[in-house]
Amino acid sequence: MNKKDLNYIAGLEKAIKKKYGDEAVQNPASHWTSEKEKEYLKQLKSVVEKTDSNKVETESGFLLEEKLINISKVETCDKCESKITTLNDKIYFSKLSVCEKCYILYHEGR
């Protein structure tokens, strides 16, 4: 680093301090205490315990952990049983529960 870089950085710090106050240019670790550290670790432990619990649910007669359950179901057309894959299929499926092909065959113009 040369002298110009240090002067530029000092100028930035002064401008930030002037606009946002003294606390904006201070090291965040300077306000951290052992009490805050203990409280943070306590909160972190309670969050991990809440999210890490092994929830078990019954699906189709089997006991499964919540992590193993597939939330997104594969949508299929009610008429032809084909999978809903394209955007147009999804649009028609949301309105009429059929794919685009079945919409054209059974619903369009009727």
> What percent of the chain lies above the pLDDT cut of 70?
75
Which pLDDT score, from 0 to 100, does residue 71 have?
Answer: 60
Question: Does the CA dihedral 80-84-89-92 come out positive or negative?
Answer: positive
Q: Is the per-residue pLDDT at 69 higher than 70? A: no
The dihedral region occupied by 61, where left means phi > 0, alpha psi between -120 and 50, and beta the remainder, is left
> What percent of the chain lies above the pLDDT cut of 90?
19
Among candidate residues 28, 39, 83, 73, the one with its CA nearest the CA of residue 99: 83
Task: Say which amino acid occupies 28.
Answer: P
Which pLDDT score, from 0 to 100, does residue 20 have?
Answer: 93
Q: Is the per-residue pLDDT at 94 higher than 90? A: no
Which pLDDT score, from 0 to 100, does residue 36 have?
Answer: 92
Q: Is the per-residue pLDDT at 8 higher than 80? A: yes
Q: Is the per-residue pLDDT at 4 higher than 80? A: no
Which pLDDT score, from 0 to 100, does residue 52 have?
Answer: 58
Q: Is the per-residue pLDDT at 35 higher than 90? A: yes
